[in-house]
Structure 1
């Protein structure tokens, strides 16, 4: 499944239907459970901001379902899915009337959220795309409920659902779109959506059991996380790891190792890039090389990033921030939520030009910093008195074993992310049944447009050299550009 923006998803002409969650005022109950650390930090960071209001942090998915859309059965499937995942029936917001902006939560019991369809006239792809962007921007704010929205698109060759040509379409199918604010969903949650909604819809249509396994509530997870993190102090290993990183990086998390241009005076949408780096056979070959080096796939990826950095900048260290999931236990495996911790990576690049050595070092570094990923980084920031806001992130996910992952190409399933307006660099490396996809976002200026793809291209070349079994083709290490994030 490719992770990219809505603009890169193929949208045919057709009829768009919005599916809007709604609940009566009397259906809500006061809920004393707190938000997770990352959720509350997100609410405070986006409160009152001029651009986005949190709307530049939504995630989502698009996928196709075979057959004509049965609106009543699809509506019931969505309502059952909302019942399944409590964060979709709960809302936490900052109460401005309380001192310090205290957090208030309300939750609706299962069965109290309904879904109302709004069907639009036939439209062309550009009109549908703009409508979807507006729909997601309107609904995916963490400060209002619902902070998510669904849409379906019934495609028609000429945009007219009643035309004779449409009736002859033998490959009838419709597309499902889903977008949600990051506070209730993460990258792994996104890849579960297509299977779960499709399975529930199929059960409504045919009676065939969806067989979805039980899941826990992210709200319970967040409450337990707060209890466990309340006892952290300055001597905790995670705090020490982050303190050292911030001290060595000038008080902020690591920056991209090449210049990315000046921060713009006004909010500007970021540039995006999405590429297939490996097919499945090439990914397996690279994985085998990592195992022979005594480490894992992500460590091998970091080794290649590090070697590319050394060649392009002459730097003696490669630094980044790597997300790690916090789904500790099977009850959280299929839950919707923001189960993400962060670990700073500091990879020494000197005294070797060998993949095996760098990969082993990267594996050791992932092991060394694992404690920092288990603790909410917002809590660590509280203890250090400095908000931890990543500037350069390299994320890795292996989603080959997600239920029905093999069907993603057939379903035209794609993970979506919102436009971003920040001055940072994010890179996502995802291993799927089809191979390895890379997607990235970075500032839209001539400096970043040259330097970010340059590092990514060289990293990809180094990974391919490893995969084919040969040594890295040595290139002179030169400081052609200063190793700085600006």
Structure 2
């Protein structure tokens, strides 16, 4: 596997310059081996629009419930989930006031190829088993009133055998842009945080005879039930479930713990007065600016497209991007980087963050890389392959401290990323509520090492994508 960097919500020019600087600093630790990057066995973490979808027969697969099987569930929502639902209600209210349709653009998912023909019954069985394995996909929350600021929520859950799957054929598409539009429209209409199901799936059977022995799967979910790690292991999971259904055998998958149980445990953490006091105090210290104002750190370079500045031509405006992906290192390079980082007391992640710190301090007037970093909260083995939103946030303040070498800067980064790691178990939404901070995190750096995700050794050209997160 290779290493790829992605920057969201920045202009292409700013991001490319930063990526080039980042690559320059990475080379201090990683030796070049002259290997050219290829797209074999790679994971693209980018947008669905960038994935090379085939034309062909488009079908969607909708999850249906037995309405009599829903039961009220006393287990609490996680703080993340509750905060997310309040934002969904807020958006729906704003859209209604402006006369806009109530559709969701807040979903994440992935796309990959299964190298077997598509058999309807087998794929239905695979998807039904998928939902049976993960309670996160069989639960929902209902707002007890429509006041997005104060409403409480009641959880309802379905039994493991109460979900069925129906196939809906949309016909054969010969134009890939029309195909993308239809998939995007379907996801926007059928995935949201309020109405169940919170997951949907589409398939494409290629129209070319050479590709008749495979099909493309695209899945999308509301963020409340799927995080980045869930996105990634879902690929191997669905492949195995489908292969097992075709072969009429039991799938070779380990049991997965319940995300709903995890949510109840996380809620208990927030009720600890000592944990709350410490988390609020440390976050307050980090978020307090030089002017005394409490606010999340911002990206230290200009974030402005040509369209916003009024200098862009229509063609320039059309090229504006939500995100930009840039390859930095190939397989041997990233292995060498990890080896040297470990020898210096850190990891591949801390080496990449050091390079980013050096790039930021070189390109901007700041003397410290200050950002918020998502961290997984799958600290119990039973949750390692559970679908859900197992994510907390930690603050990072990584000063340059006059470092004269990459190694010196690296040591500081290792310490900076360890300092507040345990704060990630305390939900940031509870902290921001306690501190009366309404601004969401502005500068967030997320690191996901896909090389060690189950099934990574079998990947072809896959993507994990996100929209409006």
TM-score category of the 2 structures, normalised to the smaller one: 0.7 to 0.9
Structure 2-normalised TM-score?
0.82
- CA 1:61–1:344 in 2, change beyond 3 Å: closer, same or farther? same
Matches within 5 A, 1:58-457: 58-96=107-145, 100-124=150-174, 125-157=176-208, 166=209, 169=210, 172-232=213-273, 236-248=277-289, 250-261=293-304, 271-387=322-438, 389-409=440-460, 412-419=461-468
CA contact (8 A) 1:239 1:372 kept: no
Distance 2:261 2:103 in 1: 23
- CA 1:234–1:285 in 2, change beyond 3 Å: closer, same or farther? closer
- CA 1:147–1:234 in 2, change beyond 3 Å: closer, same or farther? closer
- CA 1:283–1:211 in 2, change beyond 3 Å: closer, same or farther? same
CA contact (8 A) 1:54 1:142 kept: no
CA contact (8 A) 2:269 2:275 kept: no
- CA 1:244–1:54 in 2, change beyond 3 Å: closer, same or farther? farther
The number of equivalent residue pairs is 406
Distance 2:379 2:129 in 1: 26
Deviation at 1:384, TM superposition (A): 2.0
Deviation at 1:371, TM superposition (A): 2.0
Counterpart of 2:446 in 1: which secondary structure? strand
Distance 1:103 1:171 in 2: 46
- CA 1:373–1:54 in 2, change beyond 3 Å: closer, same or farther? farther
CA contact (8 A) 1:378 1:387 kept: no
- CA 1:295–1:406 in 2, change beyond 3 Å: closer, same or farther? same
Distance 2:88 2:366 in 1: 35
- CA 1:97–1:53 in 2, change beyond 3 Å: closer, same or farther? closer
CA contact (8 A) 1:309 1:315 kept: yes
CA contact (8 A) 1:54 1:181 kept: no
Counterpart of 1:380 in 2: which secondary structure? helix
Counterpart of 1:38 in 2: which secondary structure? helix
Distance 1:388 1:227 in 2: 25
Counterpart of 1:237 in 2: which secondary structure? helix
Distance 1:264 1:314 in 2: 23
CA contact (8 A) 1:68 1:174 kept: yes
CA-atom RMSD in angstroms: 2.3
Paired residue for 1:480? none
Deviation at 1:419, TM superposition (A): 4.6
Unaligned ranges ≥5, structure 1: 158-165, 421-486
Distance 2:65 2:276 in 1: 46
Counterpart of 1:216 in 2: which secondary structure? coil
Distance 1:353 1:97 in 2: 56
Distance 2:441 2:424 in 1: 13
Deviation at 1:233, TM superposition (A): 5.0
CA contact (8 A) 2:103 2:189 kept: no
Distance 2:85 2:144 in 1: 11
Cα deviation code 1:22-67 (max 9, x no counterpart): 1132121111222100000001122131469683331101111112
Deviation at 1:235, TM superposition (A): 6.7
Distance 1:388 1:202 in 2: 46
Distance 2:433 2:102 in 1: 23
- CA 1:310–1:234 in 2, change beyond 3 Å: closer, same or farther? same
CA contact (8 A) 1:287 1:297 kept: yes
Deviation at 1:221, TM superposition (A): 0.4
Distance 2:233 2:402 in 1: 43
| Structure number with higher relative contact order (C-alpha < 8 Å, ≥ 6 residues apart) | 2
